[in-house]
């Protein structure tokens, strides 16, 4: 009887398993954390898997407990814009392509999205983009130096609609304080959501944070700026009459 050959575990497969792994304390107890995301790993297509396996050295960064050296990573001192939760990466790649004077760093825990983003970046010959597949809060806390970011983008984060789940929303006062700590003076915070309740929560949280100046002439939201690409998700929502709220603040 011939032996059954087990499929080879590739880097992309292992990365997916690493993201899914539960965390435990030193004495073996499960470490409960209030996460701002639900891990929806999905199935990695061969296309996405190959992109991660073949090009992670060019586009991927790993969590580290010391700050990244962005000048060494990108080969220049252009401002670094961080995007948390880039989905499949289409708009992030488009922004990187349209703004070569900026460096972009994307964080996403959805491994098929990471693979798709890397594949598109390769296709578009993008050089000013790096991606991370890890919890954004841990990256912010440990891997990004204070006063090192030119901007923060947070587009359509999980709204956690139920009131009892609002504590899971990533936009909280402590999150904004951490972002301000990482921003350079003059850096921006740009958020967008299609949930009005979350938009109101974002606005209140940002307005109550000292050192942030709202760029809306009406003191609340801005129209979608041309530099934020319109996603298929938004186009579908517009046809259904759904609203989208953009917020844009500058750190002074």
pLDDT of 13-35, one tens digit each?
777 655 544 444 555 443 445 55
231 is in an annotated binding site: yes
Residue 97, annotated as binding a ligand: no
Query: Exposed, middle or buried, 8 (CB in 10 Å: 0-12/13-18/19+)?
Result: exposed
Q: Which residue has the tokens 């990108």?
A: 74
pLDDT digits (tens, 9 = 90+) for 153-203: 999 999 987 888 798 899 999 999 999 999 999 999 999 999 999 999 999
Give pLDDT tens digits for 75-94: 999 999 999 999 999 999 99
Mind telling me the catalytic residues? 158
Residue 246 in marked binding region: no
Mean pLDDT of the region 34-39: 50
The reply, when asked if residue 142 is annotated as ligand binding, is no
Sorting pLDDT into bands at 50, 70 and 90, what band is 125?
very high
pLDDT value at 36 more than 50: no
Tell me which of 3.40.50.300, 3.30.70.360, 3.40.50.720, 3.40.50.150 is the CATH number of domain 72-251: 3.40.50.150
Q: What is the pLDDT of residue 17?
A: 58
Report pLDDT digits (tens) over 207-251.
999 999 999 999 999 999 999 999 877 887 788 888 999 999 999
Q: Is 162 a known ligand-binding residue?
A: yes
Helical segments of the chain, H only: 11-20, 46-59, 70-74, 90-98, 111-123, 136-138, 173-182, 196-207, 232-239
Of 16-20, 95-99, 136-140, 215-219, the least confident? 16-20
Q: Which of 27-41, 49-63, 101-115, 156-170 has the lowest mean pLDDT?
A: 27-41
Please tell me whether 108 is known to bind a ligand.
yes
3-class DSSP string for 7-24: CCCCHHHHHHHHHHCCCE
**Residue 37 pLDDT > 60:** no
Report which of 11, 8, 110, 94 is spatially closest to residue 53, judged by C-alpha positions.
11
Binding residue per annotation — 174? no
Kindly state the tokens that stand for 20.
Answer: 């899914």
The domain spans of the chain are 72-251
Annotated binding residue 83: yes
- The percent helix, strand, coil of the chain (3-state, each to 5) is 40, 20, 45
Q: What is the pTM of this model?
A: 0.85
């Amino acid at each position: 009887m011939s032996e059954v050959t087990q499929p080879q575990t590739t880097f992309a497969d292992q990365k997916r398993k690493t993201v899914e792994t539960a965390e435990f304390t030193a004495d073996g107890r499960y470490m409960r954390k209030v996460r701002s995301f639900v891990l929806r790993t999905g199935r990695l297509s061969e296309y996405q898997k190959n992109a991660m396996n073949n090009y992670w050295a060019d586009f991927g960064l790993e969590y580290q407990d010391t700050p990244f050296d962005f000048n060494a990573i990108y080969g220049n001192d252009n401002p670094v814009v961080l995007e948390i939760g880039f989905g499949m990466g289409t708009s992030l790649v488009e922004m990187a392509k349209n703004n070569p004077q900026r460096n972009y760093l994307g964080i996403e825990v959805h491994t098929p999205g990471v693979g798709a983003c890397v594949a598109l970046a390769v296709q578009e010959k993008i050089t000013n983009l790096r991606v991370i597949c890890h919890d954004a809060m841990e990256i912010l806390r440990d891997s990004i130096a204070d006063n090192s970011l030119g901007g923060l983008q947070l587009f359509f984060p999980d709204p956690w609609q139920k009131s009892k789940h609002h504590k899971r929303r990533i936009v909280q006062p402590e999150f904004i304080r951490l972002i301000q700590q990482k921003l350079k003076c003059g850096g921006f915070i740009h958020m967008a959501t299609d949930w009005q309740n979350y938009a109101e929560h974002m606005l209140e949280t940002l307005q109550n944070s000292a050192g942030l100046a709202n760029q809306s002439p009406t003191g609340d939201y801005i129209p979608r700026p041309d530099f934020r690409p319109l996603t298929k998700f938004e186009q579908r929502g517009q046809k259904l009459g759904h609203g989208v709220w953009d917020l844009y603040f500058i750190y002074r």
